[in-house]
Structure 1
Amino acid sequence: HLYGHVAGAARAFNISPLYWKKYRKGQMTTRQAYSAIARLFNDEWWTHQLKGQRMRWHEALLIAVGEVNKDRSPYASKHAIRDVRARRQANLEFLKSCDLENKETGERIDLISKVMGSISNPEIRRMELMNTIAGIERYAAAEGDVGMFITLTAPSKY
């Protein structure tokens, strides 16, 4: 009952607490209840959830007043796009400021160099995708099938 009471406060802000659907179906275990309640009493969790909700509400308001449409900004508001770019830049700066250290050898390397050499790098991710596509095409040809890749796009409403 404690979970339902506290989770109700989160639902008042249109936030779905952990295991909310299981609670509503009567399928929540005691362990899940403890875990969910701990999260509901965590200041950092609330800060993260409320900031996310604030961003969603702000974007919904900008859509409602016509800031997001085919003539102005077709997919997201200029404010949302600026926020995403700022977050990416902040993350990049953080990665540049960090090092990885091998405690046994004392060897240190920049974290950013490892990240940029992994599939976290969009260029490498694209190459990995192309390699996967080529492999699927080769496998399909060997099996006498045709490899087909389809992109489904829903029509946009402006």
Structure 2
Amino acid sequence: HLYGHVAGAARAFNISPLYWKKYRKGQITTRQAYSAIARLFNDEWWTHQLKGQRMRWHEALLIAVGEVNKDRSPYASKHAIRDVRARRQANLEFLKSCDLENRETGERIDLISKVMGSISNPEIRRMELMNTIAGIERYAAAEGDVGMFITLTAPSKY
């Protein structure tokens, strides 16, 4: 019962607290309620949630006043695009500032080199996808079928 009252504060801001759907169905356990309440009393969680909500509301307002349309900025507001680019740059700078260390050998390597050599790198991710598609097509052809790979995405211009 306490969870419902505390979660009501989050719902007032259009934020779905942890296990909200289970609570609404009457399926929440005591342990789940306890962990959800602990999160609802955490100021860092609230800061993160409210910042995210603020960004969504701001973007919705910019869409409503016509800042996002095919003539001005077709996919997102210029503000949202700047935010995404700034976050990407900040993440990149953070990765550049970190090292990985093998505790047994003492060997150190740059974290950014490992990230850029993994599927976290968009170019490598694309190559992996193309390789997967080719494998699906080869398997389908061997089985006498037609391989079809369909990807549904939102615009990714930015």
TM-score (norm 1): 0.95
SS in 2 for 1:131: helix
Q: Deviations over 1:36-73 (max 9, x none)?
A: 01110111100000000000000001011100011101
Same amino acid, percent of matched pairs: 99
Superposition deviation, residue 17 in structure 1 = 0.2
Q: Deviations over 1:63-115 (max 9, x none)?
A: 11100011101110000000000000000000000000001100000000000
Superposition deviation, residue 155 in structure 1 = 11
- CA RMSD of superposed structures (Å): 2.6
Give the whole-Å Cα distance in 2 for the aligned partners of 1:82 and 1:150: 30
Matches within 5 A, 1:57-76: 57-76=57-76
Structure 1 regions of 5+ residues with no counterpart?
none
**Cα pair distance change 1:98/1:55, threshold 3 Å:** same
Q: Deviations over 1:129-152 (max 9, x none)?
A: 000000000100110101123355
TM-score (norm 2): 0.95
**Cα pair distance change 1:89/1:21, threshold 3 Å:** same
Give the whole-Å Cα distance in 1 for the aligned partners of 2:75 and 2:97: 33
Checking the alignment, whether the CA contact within 8 Å between 2:67 and 2:77 is kept in structure 1 is: yes
Aligned to 2:116: 116
Give the whole-Å Cα distance in 2 for the aligned partners of 1:103 and 1:155: 43
SS in 2 for 1:48: helix
Checking the alignment, whether the CA contact within 8 Å between 2:75 and 2:155 is kept in structure 1 is: no
- Give aligned pairs, total: 158
